[in-house]
Amino acid sequence: MTLTLGTATRDRLRIAIQKSGRLAEPARKLLAACGLSWRESRDKLFCYGETLPVDLLLVRDDDIPGLIADGVCDLGVVGRNELEEQAGTRLRNGLAPAYRELRGLGFGQCRLMLAVPEDWDWTGPGQIKDKGLRIATSYPAILGQWLAREGIDAQVVELSGSVEIAPRLGTAELICDLVSSGATLVANQLKPVENLLDSEAVLAGPAGSFDDARAGLAQMLLRRVDGVLQLKDRKLLMFNAAREALPALEQLLQDAGPLVVVPDQGRPGGNGTLALQTMCEGTVSWQQLEDLERAGARGLMVLTVERSLA
């Protein structure tokens, strides 16, 4: 299969996602929830979009910012850490910004942290000023920016992996690496002390805008992504109640959205009973339902919202 490279006019949108790794599965799930589906090709690098003219390119996460910068891909799902690092490298090399973060996607959360041997008493960044210490990292650009901001003169030791063993190997005194549970640091007798970046998977796009059919496709996709993200963890709570019970019910539903009265369209047996609904974040527990029932709610129902357009 031949891929058209470059920035030529295109009427299909091409999204790069990680082929395998932490972000691969959630990225596919998110795009599928946006109504996209693909025909898998045998080389498994390119998936042709079936429901919409939106194709997937399956690549290494490190390659995604560059593919967007070169116009090979239009959008990409990548960790903010990777995007910021490559943006920082471009800046250092005098290149113009080539991509931007369009949405935080709420998965792949981690932090880029400075970590020190666990027996150090950490008092703050001032502690490593003018000491000429070595910091091992795979994120030299982000670390370099932080060091400059803090006025710290340290030596950045760039490693492509296994950063956490550098202090034990004697190649650096500190490290700067991604942390999620923190177990890797603990296993290497290190502790996190400074947070350089809060990261998650993001939808990234080019710095400029599209001037062909891709503009409309990208806009539609963003709207659907927003819809999916908004619905995450949302439940619609429906019930009936007498008007007199409303104050007590509203009291119990303080954390939910506004309580809406559904217009009664001449249903039999109305006799002053209101049909009510509200949107709740997170789970609605049995305890909450029982409390609402005691306060006068009847016919309680909790529904998962599958799709919505704001």
Which residues contact ligand PRT (rule: CB under 6 A)? 18, 21-23, 60-62, 79, 81-82, 108, 110, 177-184, 199
Tokens of 300: 């309680």
Looking at the DSSP bridge assignments, the partners of residue 276 are 239, 261
259-268 own/partner pairs: CB under 8 Å, 24+ apart: 262/238
Nearest approach in angstroms of CB 232 to ligand PRT is 18
Nearer Cβ to ligand PRT, position 89 or 127? 89
- The single residue listed with the structure tokens 């805008």 is 209
**Residue among 64 and 237 whose Cβ is closer to Zn ion:** 64
85 binds, among ligand PRT, Zn ion, none (CB under 5 to 8 A by kind): none
Alpha-carbon dihedral 297, 298, 304, 306, rounded to 10 degrees: -100
* Minimum distance of ligand PRT from residue 80's CB (angstroms): 7
**Could you tell me the smallest distance in angstroms from the CB atom of residue 136 to ligand PRT?**
12
Query: Rg of the chain's alpha carbons, rounded to an integer?
Result: 25
Q: Which of ligand PRT, Zn ion, none has residue 55 at its interface (CB below 5 to 8 Å by kind)?
A: none
Nearest to 150 by CA among 200, 195, 87: 195
**Residue 20 CB, nearest approach to ligand PRT (Å):** 6
Residue number with CB closer to ligand PRT (34 or 176):
176
Give least dist CB 105 to ligand PRT, A: 11
The answer to whether residues 70 and 16 touch, using CB atoms and an 8 Å cutoff, is no
Among 55, 61, 63, 164, binds Zn ion (CB under 5 A): 61
Q: Return the beta strands (E) in 19-172 as ranges.
A: 38-40, 46-49, 54-59, 75-79, 99-104, 110-117, 134-137, 155-158
Give Cα 97 to chain centroid, integer Å.
21
Per rule CB under 5 A, is residue 194 in the interface with Zn ion? no
Coil, helix or strand at residue 257: coil
C-beta nearest to ligand PRT: residue: 79
Q: Which of 48, 62, 122, 305 binds Zn ion (CB under 5 A)?
A: 62
Residue 177 as a binder of Zn ion (CB under 5 A): the answer is no
Give contact residues for Zn ion (rule: CB under 5 A): 61-62
